[in-house]
Structure 1
Amino acid sequence: MTKNPLIICDFDGTITMNDNIVSIMKEFAPPEWTALKDGVLSKEVTIEEGVGQMFGLLPSSMKEEITRFVLQDAKIRDGFREFVSFVNQHELPFYVVSGGMDFFVYPLLDEIVDRDRIYCNHASFENDHIHIKWPHSCDSLCTNGCGCCKPSVIRQLSEKAEFVIMIGDSVTDVEAAKLSDICFARDYLLNECVQLGLQHLPYQNFYEVKSGIENIGEVKAWIQNNSAGVNLPK
């Protein structure tokens, strides 16, 4: 029996060309953010702790300035809009699962991805400094302090019969890549996939992702069945 595909896509550094959190910190944060970033990359500090403390360095009064900066600075990776048109055309189950913050993830994806297909963190500007809330934190099977826990979201969305396709680039995607049947990877994640022996394909743009996904047997079967009018669960 062919498994149904489930496509999970990272945001920062994957859909966008750069990591927006790193860009924000470079522009606005005091030097202390660098040690926190290094701690996250070395896995000595959890993502939830490190990213939460990074944003805690920034005054809430800078909300408008930070938002304006990131919306102007971020660039969508080539082919992403066409890729979303492809998954929408074939009604493929597709979700953006991001360690980024709602105040920039939502507006950058407006008119491209429906918000009910986006999982991300929430930034609160109610106190003196920015406070991050984690609506999609780790479930009982994960103790990694992921912040937005991609493995937990995958478990929430998937069933045992589904074929998980992960698209990512960074340390925040490693645990999700371990749960995937195939991972489209670049940068840090690509090196991790090689070292861990995970099934993967490299990419630099979403034209390559689309081409690779079209050739996956489970996706071919989904498209064929969908074209024939078979009612497949999503």
Structure 2
Amino acid sequence: MKPIIFCDFDGTITNSDNIIEIMKRFAPPEWAGLKDQVLDRSISVKEGVGKMFSLLPSSKRDDIIRYILSKAEIREGFAEFAAYTEEQGIDLYIVSGGIDFFVYPLLEGIIEKERIYCNLADFQGERICIKWPNPCDKESGCELECGCCKPSIIRSLAASDDEVIVIGDSVTDLEAAKMADFVIARDYLLEKASEQNLPYKPFETFYDVISILESRRVMNR
């Protein structure tokens, strides 16, 4: 089976969640209640993130972009990991609930834009409006309204004989992980992969990810 990798962005490629960092710096206090509702699933990710960004005036666009691009840190070894997948002929896609104005520039020169799936920000109105170009497909039966539906993207890109590998860290990666042949996980997703007996390995840096993939490649020769 040929590997195909679907990798999360916030908290996986980056060391922290960029949406949370933006809200901490620029949003009024009510953003925290929306975050808690998303985490306890009383509202969807799509609703919560949309409402959080609607708290921010579009006039802050340049300040927000400048701030998050200066603050965000790429996890150690990611550029080397991306180069490894290219050398090995492994298809790598970034599937992110993050927003285009920070996802694209942070991955520029590392990942081709057409391999990145994320949400979009519209700054035309008085308040920031988030657009959702990757909705749930008909097969998903998904009621989570996650905004960027990772299972739907996997179904659209992976062939039946591909080995689907999911790399992630959070609640937004869990449904994708359930579809995967193998999971590389940290944080929340690591706990859930263990609880649900998914085939997985833990990671901290992308050097770990390279080692895991190389071990599997050698083992499957």
Calculate the aligned-residue CA RMSD, in Å: 1.3
**Aligned partners of 1:163 and 1:218 also within 8 Å:** no
Alignment partner, residue 200 of structure 1:
200
2:26: which partner in 1? 28
Q: 1:133 to 1:211 in 2, by over 3 A?
A: same
For 1:137, the equivalent position in structure 2 comes to: 135
Alignment CA distance shift 1:219-1:32 (3 Å): farther
- Which one-letter code corresponds to 1:160 in the other structure? S
* 1:227 alignment counterpart: none
Structure 1 partner of 2:85:
87
Letter of the structure 1 residue corresponding to residue 147 of structure 2: G
Counterpart contact for 2:2–2:90, Cα < 8 Å: no
CA shift for structure 1 position 141:
2.3
1:121 aligned onto 2:119:
yes
Q: Deviations over 1:55-83 (max 9, x none)?
A: 11111110000000000000000000110
Q: What amino acid sits opposite 2:30 in the alignment?
A: E
Corresponding position of 1:228: none
CA offset digits 1:170-224 (Å, max 9, x no partner): 1111111111111111111111112222111111000000100112249955xxx
- SS of the residue 2:63 aligns to: helix
Shift of 1:160: 1.6
The aligned counterpart of 1:185 is 185
Per-residue CA distance 1:91-128 (angstroms, 9 max, x = gap): 21110111100000000000111101111111000111
Gaps of 5+ in 1: 222-234
Q: Structure 2, unaligned stretches of length 5 or more?
A: none
Q: Which runs of 4+ in 1 moved over 3 A?
A: 217-221
Q: 1:82 to 1:128 in 2, by over 3 A?
A: same
**TM-score when normalising by structure 1:** 0.90
1:62-101 to structure 2, matched below 5 A, reads: 62-101=60-99
Q: 2:218 and 2:111 mapped to 1: Cα distance?
A: 23
- Indicate the residue corresponding to 2:149 in structure 1: 149
Structure 1 190/128 Cα, relative in aligned 2: closer, same or farther at 3 Å?
same
Secondary structure in structure 2 of the residue aligned to 1:139: coil
Rounded to whole Å, the distance in 2 between the matches of 1:87 and 1:40 is: 33
